[in-house]
């Protein structure tokens, strides 16, 4: 992490954010509430998410706001957990009375927030990838679910000749959800699971699991750990143990993979966003981030880019509905789309979004090369009742 600065970025961001946009339009501002894990497990990723929000809002305000009204952002820390989320949502919904909530959060935080969102009757876009099947009339999702992310990885590994898979995860909803789906998918495709092991999220000693992996005779390993620490400890220890079978990681972001240096090389990543995506929208997005944040810029990733797009999706929905009124906005959400860095996004399938998925491989220089592209992958039946 060559440009880590001896200051807490999130602090600067948070204080800078409360003071609204520079360009003022006519009318009452539209307020976007962003509950996010400034502290706790998500705090590594949160600054990038806040930057993405900030950029989208600045761009929107510069081009006349939404329905001619300026847009304002209020960020609240959810401490990456349920109790923090209750506080954050209560603050945003009942104290700040925001018009919409757009949030990249842990599942626990999302679950804690949902009842408050429903109680306060607000529209809510969840911009994080997750294990799937969370449904609420007020919530729309524009990140991926297992049905979208796992197939590219498995297909690539199988195309390269892998038949016996070993699955390793952190013991939490996402880790288990992803691997459960992977197991089903691999077995449907005729592959074999030779081992499936979980370590608690706080655990940092993977020795026993790696020994089991070594003796299981697997020819590929797929991991789905909690972001951050477990990812790093597992990769470091996996590499140090001399195991060299193909390694796909369902939960590593590009920045972390890069930061791992030599240990990261060769990891397969499946994502709906990679910085290497070669489209004008993505290039403009990165350039705009660089211009706005300079040295403080955080590498955009598969969590911050959907957040950026979600702000635009909200704009589109409000403009279609002609008001910020919750029911109208919710009705407009499945109808609208936005062409962003990840391509054309529309939350049209049971409150979830069909997405183009990319398979990347970490290179020796730390960059991630796109090795395959899977257009318009369907999220499957996430919320049949909606």
Partner 1 sequence: MADRAHSLAVSDRMFTRHGTGLFLLGALALALVLLGPLFLDRFTQNVLTRSMIYAMMAITVDLLWGYTGILTFGQSAFFGAGAYATALILTHIGGGMQNFALALALSVILPMVLAALVGWLSFYHKSTPLYASVISLVVPIVLTQAIFAGGSFTGSSSGLVGYPVMKLGAANYFRLAGVALILFAALSWIIVRSDAGRVLVAIRDNPLRAAYLGIRTQKVQILLMTVLGGIAGLCGFLYANAGRIVAPEIAGFGFGTQMIVWTALGGRASIFGPALGAIGIDYLGAQLSGSMPYVWQLIIGVLFVAMILFVPRGLVGLLPRRKHSGAAPALVALPDQRQESGRDALLTVSGLRKAYGNFVVLDGIDLKVRPGELISVVGPNGAGKTTLLRCLSDGTETIEGNITVVDKDIAGRPPEDIVALGIGRKFQVASVFESMTVAECLRLARTTHERPSLWHRASTIELPSAALEILALTGLNKKLGEPVSGLSHGMRQSLELAMVVAMQPRLILLDEPTAGLTKAERTLIGEVLKRLTQNLGYAAILIEHDIDFVKEISQRLVVLHQGRLVMDGSVEEVVNSELVRSIYSGMAHD
Partner 2 sequence: MALLLDITTTAALLFIVSAGLFVIFGVLKIINFAHAAWLTIGAYTTVVATRMGFSPWLSLPLAVFVGGLLGAATEIAIVRPLYRRSLDAILATWGLGVVIVQIITLTFGRDMQMPPALITGTVDVLGMPYSSYRLFLLVAAVIMGLAFVLVLERTRLGLNAQAVIMNETLARALGINTSQVRLVTFMLGSAIAALAGVLLTPLSSVDPTMGISWLIGAFMLVMVSGTSVAALALACLCFGAAQVLVSTWISPILGSVTVAVLCAVVLRLHPKGFARG
Task: Decide: is 295 part of the binding site for partner 2 (CB under 8 A).
Answer: no
Measure the N-to-C terminal CA separation of the chain; round to a whole number of Å.
43
Which member of 44, 67, 158, 173 binds partner 1 (CB under 8 A)?
A: 173
Stretch that binds partner 2, among 21-29, 37-45, 107-115, 271-279 (CB under 8 A): 37-45
Nearest to 110 by CA among 81, 67, 144: 81
Q: How far is the CB of 154 from partner 2 (least distance, A)?
A: 24
Stretch that binds partner 1, among 84-92, 257-265, 293-301, 365-373 (CB under 8 A): 84-92
Q: Token digits for 15?
A: 């204080």
80 vs 346, which CB is nearer to partner 1?
80
Is-contact 21 61, C-beta < 8 A? Answer: yes
| CA–CA gap between residue 372 and residue 156 (Å, rounded) | 8
Which member of 50, 52, 73, 79 binds partner 1 (CB under 8 A)?
A: 79
Task: Decide: is 14 part of the binding site for partner 2 (CB under 8 A).
Answer: no
200 vs 375, which CB is nearer to partner 1?
200
Stretch that binds partner 1, among 110-118, 149-157, 232-240, 276-284 (CB under 8 A): 110-118
Contacts of 26 (CB under 8 A, 6+ apart): 68, 69
Task: Decide: is 221 part of the binding site for partner 1 (CB under 8 A).
Answer: no
Task: Decide: is 212 part of the binding site for partner 2 (CB under 8 A).
Answer: yes
Task: Decide: is 184 part of the binding site for partner 1 (CB under 8 A).
Answer: no
Ranges within 30-49 binding partner 1 (CB under 8 A): 38-39
130 vs 247, which CB is nearer to partner 1?
130
125 vs 238, which CB is nearer to partner 2?
238
Give the residues across from 269 on adjacent strands. Answer: 249, 360
250 vs 277, which CB is nearer to partner 1?
250
Q: How many CB atoms lie under 10 A from the CB of residue 3?
A: 8
Task: Decide: is 11 part of the binding site for partner 1 (CB under 8 A).
Answer: yes
Nearest to 41 by CA among 303, 275, 272, 238: 303
Does residue 201 sit in helix, strand or coil?
Answer: coil
Task: Decide: is 176 part of the binding site for partner 1 (CB under 8 A).
Answer: yes
The interface mask with partner 1, positions 248-267, x = CB under 8 A, is: --------------------
Task: Decide: is 213 part of the binding site for partner 2 (CB under 8 A).
Answer: no
Exposure letters 35-58 (e unless 16+ CB within 10 A, then b): bbbbebbbbbbbbbbbbbbbbbbb
Which member of 157, 209, 218, 332 binds partner 2 (CB under 8 A)?
A: 209
Beta strands in the chain (DSSP E): 30-36, 71-77, 100-103, 124-126, 139-141, 164-170, 192-199, 220-224, 247-249, 268-271, 338-340, 343-345, 355-362, 368-377
* 338 phi/psi in degrees, rounded to 5: -140, 135
Is-contact 177 146, C-beta < 8 A? Answer: yes
Exposure letters 258-271 (e unless 16+ CB within 10 A, then b): bbbeebbbebbbbb
174 vs 308, which CB is nearer to partner 1?
174
| CA–CA gap between residue 273 and residue 57 (Å, rounded) | 20
Task: Decide: is 5 part of the binding site for partner 2 (CB under 8 A).
Answer: yes
Which member of 49, 76, 347, 355 binds partner 1 (CB under 8 A)?
A: 76
Task: Give the helix ranges, DSSP H, for 260-351.
Answer: 280-293, 304-321, 326-332
The conformation of residue 171, written as its DSSP 8-state character, comes to: S
Q: Give which of partner 2, partner 1, none residue 286 binds (C-beta under 5 to 8 Å, depending on kind).
A: none
Q: How far is the CB of 181 from partner 2 (least distance, A)?
A: 20
Q: How far is the CB of 256 from partner 2 (least distance, A)?
A: 7
Site residues, partner 2 (CB under 8 A): 1, 4-11, 39, 43-44, 171, 197-200, 202-205, 207-209, 211-212, 214-215, 228-229, 231-233, 236-237, 240-242, 256, 259-262
Site residues, partner 1 (CB under 8 A): 8, 10-11, 14-15, 18, 38-39, 75-77, 79, 81-84, 86-88, 90-91, 93-95, 106-108, 110-112, 114-116, 119-120, 131, 171-174, 176, 198, 200-201
């Amino acid at each position: 992490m060559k440009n880590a600065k001896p200051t807490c970025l999130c602090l600067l961001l948070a204080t800078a954010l409360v003071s609204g946009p520079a360009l003022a339009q006519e009318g009452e501002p539209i307020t976007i509430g962003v509950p996010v894990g400034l502290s706790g497990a998500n705090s590594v990723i949160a600054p990038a998410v806040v930057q993405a929000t900030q950029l989208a809002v600045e761009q929107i305000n510069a081009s006349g706001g939404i329905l001619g009204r300026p847009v304002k952002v209020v960020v609240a820390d959810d401490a990456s957990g349920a109790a923090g989320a209750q506080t954050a949502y209560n603050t945003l919904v009942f104290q700040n009375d925001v018009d919409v909530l757009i949030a990249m959060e842990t599942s626990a935080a999302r679950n804690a927030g949902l009842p408050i969102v429903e109680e306060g009757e607000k529209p809510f876009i969840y911009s994080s990838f997750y294990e799937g099947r969370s449904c609420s009339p007020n919530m729309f999702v524009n990140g991926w679910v297992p049905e979208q992310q796992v197939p590219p990885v498995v297909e690539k590994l199988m195309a390269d000749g892998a038949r016996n898979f070993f699955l390793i995860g952190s013991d939490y909803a996402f880790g288990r959800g992803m691997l459960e789906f992977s197991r089903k998918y691999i077995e449907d495709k005729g592959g074999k699971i030779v081992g499936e092991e979980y370590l608690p999220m706080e655990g940092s000693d993977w020795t026993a699991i790696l020994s089991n992996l070594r003796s299981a005779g697997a020819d590929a390993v797929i991991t789905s750990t909690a972001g951050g620490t477990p990812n790093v400890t597992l990769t470091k220890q996996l590499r140090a143990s001399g195991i060299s079978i193909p390694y796909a990681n369902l939960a590593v972001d590009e920045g972390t993979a890069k930061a791992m240096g030599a240990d990261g090389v060769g990891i397969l990543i499946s994502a709906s966003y990679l910085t290497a995506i070669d489209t004008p929208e993505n290039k403009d997005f990165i350039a705009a981030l660089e211009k706005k944040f300079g040295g403080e810029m955080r590498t955009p990733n598969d969590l911050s880019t959907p957040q950026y797009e979600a702000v635009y999706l909200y704009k589109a929905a409000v403009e279609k509905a002609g008001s910020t009124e919750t029911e109208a906005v919710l009705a407009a959400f499945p109808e609208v789309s936005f062409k962003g860095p990840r391509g054309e996004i529309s939350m049209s399938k049971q409150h979830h979004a069909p997405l183009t998925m990319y398979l990347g491989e970490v290179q020796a220089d730390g960059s991630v090369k796109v090795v395959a592209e899977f257009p318009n992958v369907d999220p499957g039946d996430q919320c049949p009742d909606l």
